[in-house]
Amino acid sequence: MKKIKYKFSLIGAILSVCLLTAVLVLELELFERTIDVLAQLEKFEIDEFITPSLIFFGFLFVDLNHRHHQTKVEAEKAKIYKAMIGSVQHVLNNFLNQLLIFKMEAEETPGFDTEIIAIYDSIIAEAKGQIKELSSVISIDEETIRNSVKPK
């Protein structure tokens, strides 16, 4: 299904045309009725609150709309980050598994320094730990990501 880019503008245009048609067909005087209602509100001194209220609700709408957009952007960033981490884990795990061939060959080679194999094991363990830390990041921002893999 194709998504309409300006859905609310289209709805507004349709409603405007329907209202205009109703005004013309039924010979309604909407502006005059609005003025009459505002004049009736004058005796209650409510009219002073209308403009500030409209301004407040207009900015509240803009703020809520902005917050909704930011939430969607953050959710998309998190989704992309998790997909990237999953892909990185896949690539690195394949790489680490392929390195096991070299370890097995080194272990079977007579006279090969066992200290090198121990260093290899610690490097692999550290890499696995960093991958695990990176994949468990909760707050997706640059500092948190860097701190998760920073040497301790």
pLDDT in tens, 84-117: 888 888 888 888 888 888 888 888 888 888 898 8
From 44, 63, 78, give the residue that closes a domain: 44
Same domain, 87 and 134: yes
Q: What single letter denotes the amino acid at residue 123?
A: I
The pLDDT value recorded for residue 37 is 83
Q: 124 burial class (0-12, 13-18, 19+ CB within 10 angstroms)? A: middle
For residue 64, pLDDT over 80 is answered with yes
Longest dimension (CA), the chain: 103
pLDDT of amino acid 40: 80
Domain range enclosing 89: 53-149
> Per-residue pLDDT averaged across 109-129, rounded?
87
Confidence at residue 136, expressed as pLDDT on a 0 to 100 scale:
81
Domain count, the chain: 2
Give the mean pLDDT of 39-56: 81
**Domain identity same for 61 and 107:** yes
Residues 121 and 96 in one domain: yes
Predicted confidence band at 1 (pLDDT cuts at 50, 70, 90)?
Answer: low
**Cβ burial, residue 145 (10 Å; 0-12/13-18/19+):** middle
pLDDT at 152: 67
41 vs 100: which has the higher pLDDT: 100
Q: What percent of the chain has a predicted confidence (pLDDT) above 90?
A: 20
Pairwise pLDDT comparison (140 vs 118), residue with the higher score: 118
Query: Do 2 and 57 sit in the same domain of this protein?
Result: no
Where is mean pLDDT largest: 37-41, 69-73, 119-123? 69-73
Same domain, 66 and 6: no
